Amino acid sequence: MSIFVDADTKVICQGITGTQATFHVRRSLDYGTRFVAGVTPEKGGTTHLGLPVFNSVKEAREATGATASVMFVPAPAVKSAIKDAVEAELDLVVCIADSVPIKDMLEVRQLLRGSKTKLIGPNTPGIITPGGARLGIFPENIHQPGRIGIVSRSSTLTYEAVIETTRAGMGQSTVIGLGDDMIIGIDFVEALERFMRDDETDAVIIIGQLGGTFEEEAARWYKNLEHKKPIIGFVAGNAVPFGHKIGYAGDIITKGHITAQDKIDAMQDAGMTVVKKITAIHEELAKL
């Protein structure tokens, strides 16, 4: 079992006829992901990459039974694309675009509230279940099936965590990039809830970073959890002096007053193992 997506998940791509979408959907198809259709307004009735193209997500879902979407649309079009997916009652939407206007994401949050649709992103590499499904831009060749879940706020460091599981002789159950933007869809808590229920995940790696309070919220949730799987954590930015502005959008929320060490302290207090260097993750995994 994996979380959110697996080899049987029927997937569509919103914006499928674009250059980046074409490149990554082709790679995902080669990987075995079950793409069943694409959506590009005003191009309905055509085909692309051997897949039927529809004008709306609702049309695509009704014709194919799709339950998930990965969207390669420009930032200004994200709100409309997510609205289309929510109205079609998809289970999952993965948004790759970065720099989505904050005002739009506030409206997206309202759209998602009370709906059945879960959003990963924006500004995310996506989600991958090794050997099963790739929704996004993950370099699929570095992944291998295994029993370690990975959830990260940092796109690049997600790949580093994957490599660390390989160094430990382990693979991944599911890997999720939550997204680097200030306002995102699912957070650490929602991802961890799924991993804790997954029979094929033995432990979880979480990668945090400066900005926002995502790590602290996850630590509070984990601390109060009765039955826990081990969590190994790393927080990027611990070498940055207090008060230094490094540019993360989420840092606006806390006005620079929450340091990486504050996040580390909260995670350790909750019972997580936190490493000082990401390259030490494989050593902790070897102890499990």
pLDDT tens per residue across span 51-63: 999 999 999 999 9
User: Is pLDDT of 247 > 50?
Assistant: no
Q: 142-151, 171-180, 256-265: which range is least confident on average? A: 256-265
Sign of the Cα pseudo-torsion (138, 143, 145, 149, in order): negative
Q: Residue holding tokens 């959830």? A: 151
Residue 38 lies in a domain: yes
Residues 216-229: pLDDT tens digits? 999 999 999 999 99
Residue 47 lies in a domain: yes
Indicate the pairing of strand 273-274 with strand 231-236.
parallel
Rounded to an integer, what distance in angstroms lies between the CA atom of residue 91 and that of residue 44? 22
Tell whether 190 and 99 lie within a shared domain.
no
User: Is pLDDT of 170 > 50?
Assistant: yes
Tell whether 281 and 155 lie within a shared domain.
yes
Percent of the chain at pLDDT above 70? 92
Ramachandran bin of 16, using left for φ above 0, alpha for ψ from -120 to 50, beta for the remaining angles: alpha
Instruction: Please tell me the total count of domains within the chain.
Output: 2
pLDDT, residue 249, reads 45
Tell whether 79 and 148 lie within a shared domain.
no
Residue 241: pLDDT band (50, 70, 90) is: very low
User: Is pLDDT of 245 > 80?
Assistant: no
Give me the mean pLDDT over the 131-157 stretch: 95
Q: What phi and psi values does residue 245 have, to the nearest 5 degrees?
A: -90, 120
Residue 53 lies in a domain: yes
The CATH number that applies at residue 37 is: 3.40.50.720
Residue 133 lies in a domain: no
**E strand or H helix at 236, and its extent?**
strand 231-236
Residues 248-285: pLDDT tens digits? 444 444 444 578 899 999 999 999 999 999 999 999 99
pLDDT, residue 211, reads 80
Residue 172 lies in a domain: yes
Tell whether 81 and 161 lie within a shared domain.
no
Sheet strand arrangement including 68-71: 47-48, 51-54, 35-39, 11-14, 68-71, 92-95, 118-120
Quote the mean pLDDT of the chain. 92
Tell whether 182 and 61 lie within a shared domain.
no
The CATH number that applies at residue 197 is: 3.40.50.261
Say whether pTM exceeds 0.75.
yes
Give me the mean pLDDT over the 89-99 stretch: 97
Residue 247 lies in a domain: yes
Tell whether 110 and 162 lie within a shared domain.
no
User: Is pLDDT of 138 > 50?
Assistant: yes
Task: Give the end of a domain, one of 105, 120, 135.
Answer: 120
pLDDT, residue 119, reads 98
pLDDT, residue 246, reads 43
Residues 22-55: pLDDT tens digits? 999 999 999 999 999 999 999 999 999 999 999 9
pLDDT, residue 132, reads 95
Residue 2: pLDDT band (50, 70, 90) is: confident
Tell whether 74 and 183 lie within a shared domain.
no
pLDDT, residue 237, reads 78
Tell whether 149 and 281 lie within a shared domain.
yes
pLDDT, residue 47, reads 98
Give me the mean pLDDT over the 9-15 stretch: 98
Tell whether 153 and 275 lie within a shared domain.
yes
User: Is pLDDT of 1 > 70?
Assistant: no
Give me the mean pLDDT over the 94-121 stretch: 96
Tell whether 112 and 169 lie within a shared domain.
no
Please give the residue range of the domain that contains residue 215.
Answer: 144-286
